[in-house]
Chain A
Amino acid sequence: MAQVNAAEAEIDLDADLFMRQMLRELTGMLQDIVGMEEAEGYINSVGTAIGTWIERKYREEMGPVNLDPAQVAALFVDLKDRIGGGFYVISTDDDRIVLGNRRCPFGDKAAGRDSLCMMTSNVFGRIAADHLGYARVALEQTIARGDGHCRVVVDLKRDGDQDADGKEYYRVEDAVGGG
């Protein structure tokens, strides 16, 4: 058998692929062991933390002023573009942001990992709620579920419809009140 130098072997493996594969295995294990609902709970928690972290980074560069819906939509597209996604704005107004996506940041590793989509829901929801006060994010179509593309609808006005699809996100002020 011919001796092949490991460093010269043509293997489809790099840091990005390694991380994506690792995430796929982790989420797969979570879904299998604790179930989809519980797995989403963990992803929600991570997604919210990531959303807060990304939102802080943008604020550090763009200033403390809250963005309007069109700017928030542009921020979503930019941040997804930076991590390898292919999002684009379908429409935006004061009530709603609608985004499409042709390329998942997790690539083919997202297939069958619905819980990974909660990352997008949480990051978008967290950022939109912090800038605009409220967001309800509905993942109407997703690559992970086999739709071939994503369609994400972010409602910005709270209509109190408890049966509406999507998860709600609220702005939490530093000086807490309520109750």
Chain B
Amino acid sequence: MATEVNDLLDSHPTPSLLVRADGRVLYANQAAEKFFAHDEDGAGTGRTPLTDLTDLGGSELAARLRQTAGASNWQPFAFQFAAGPRQGTRVMLKGRGILRNGDSQPNAFIVYDDPGRARMSAHTGLIRDLNREIARQRELREALDRSLANEKALHRELIHRVKNNLSLLSALIRNRSSETESEEARAVLKDISFRTQSIALVHNMLDRTEEIEVVNVDELIGELCDLMQEALCPPGIRITHDTANLRLHVSDATPVCLLINELVTNSIKHAFEDGAEGEIRLAFRQNGVDKLELNVRDNGRGMSLPEEGASHHGSRITQALATQLGGRLEHTYDHGTVWTLIFEPEVPAQAAE
């Protein structure tokens, strides 16, 4: 073991000396023999007493060496070469005391404190720390990515289950509707079932496209129109739509679906004479920079007076949905009834790819 340590120290690039307090060199590694040698070819013994090498007087050097040998703390000291090829060169050294087992007196272990090496060592240390930090950040990023993927998977699962539950609920309501004999109850249950289907439509789309938060509004309104056309419209009434290719957050998409459902249902019920032909046109587009605009227009006989019960209730729902969207719902007459909702989406709408 001692031999291995000696070999290691001997081949170490830092000039290292073991010196007695009187300046006699007890050990010098190869780097020290070269560094402190008198002759230029570096073949000197390196064992020349430090007193002969330095500009420090004998007593001053002795005091420094005593001070260095007397404590295990590293202490700096400097001297100028008084002889040899480095004559006139000032060097920075540092040393500490070493008391070997069995020795009665400590000796000074002195190393050449190469400032270039120190800077290099500092840079190496910084690079090592930097690499360690980069590795730590990478692990953190991977853990975050895993966590995010996990959360997305859970969210998708939740959407899937909500979609199934809404479909189940809608089926139950339809089933109950077919069992009831009351016309009024059947109409109410049909409305509720369709509202449930409108909400389910958003979750169907999220589930199908594996999205979590946004839906393509053109596809959504298209599917809603198809659904209403098939389920609600009498023959002769046609639902069409002209929708900008936008992506809408689910928090806005759900009330928009419900509002369209209410307005279209209202038109189907009240705008046209029995058996008359007609058209209900939907438009959804950007309005200015921050806002969106929904139009529901029919070419029927204009706004009917509120009927007791259902239509009055429907009006409250449409206003409540408009308020939920933070928008304003207005209607006018222009060869039929025109409903217009302008609102600022909770999350800015994005153009679909």
- Which residues of chain A have a CB within 8 Å of any CB of chain B? 37-38, 40-42, 44-45, 48-49, 52, 118, 121-122, 125-126, 129, 158, 160, 167-173, 176-179
Enumerate chain B residues within 8 angstroms of A126, measured Cβ to Cβ: 70-71
Enumerate chain B residues within 8 angstroms of A37, measured Cβ to Cβ: 74
A52 and B67 within 8 A (CB): yes
Q: Counting CB contacts under 8 A, is B28 at the interface?
A: no
A42 and B21 within 8 A (CB): no
A129 and B75 within 8 A (CB): no
Give me 9 A-to-B residue pairs in the complex whose CB atoms sit less than 8 angstroms apart, sorted by A's number: A41-B73, A49-B67, A129-B70, A169-B97, A170-B70, A176-B22, A178-B104, A178-B107, A179-B20
| Complexed CA–CA distance, A48 and B70 (Å) | 9
Among A169, A170, A172, the one with the most B-chain Cβ atoms within 10 Å of its Cβ is A172
| Complexed CA–CA distance, A165 and B99 (Å) | 17
Among A49, A169, A176, A177, the one with the most B-chain Cβ atoms within 10 Å of its Cβ is A176
A167 to chain B, nearest CB (A): 5
Q: Counting CB contacts under 8 A, is B26 at the interface?
A: yes
| Complexed CA–CA distance, A170 and B18 (Å) | 16
B71 and A125 within 8 A (CB): yes
A45 and B75 within 8 A (CB): yes
B70 and A178 within 8 A (CB): no
B21 and A169 within 8 A (CB): no
Enumerate chain B residues within 8 angstroms of A177, measured Cβ to Cβ: 104-105
| Complexed CA–CA distance, A88 and B67 (Å) | 28
B101 and A176 within 8 A (CB): no
- Nearest first, the 6 closest Cβ-Cβ pairs linking A and B are A178-B105, A168-B72, A44-B73, A170-B106, A179-B26, A45-B75
B142 to chain A, nearest CB (A): 34
Enumerate chain A residues within 8 angstroms of B103, measured Cβ to Cβ: 178-179
A84 to chain B, nearest CB (A): 24
B94 and A169 within 8 A (CB): no
Enumerate chain B residues within 8 angstroms of A40, measured Cβ to Cβ: 73-74
A78 to chain B, nearest CB (A): 22
A154 to chain B, nearest CB (A): 13
A45 and B76 within 8 A (CB): yes
B233 to chain A, nearest CB (A): 80
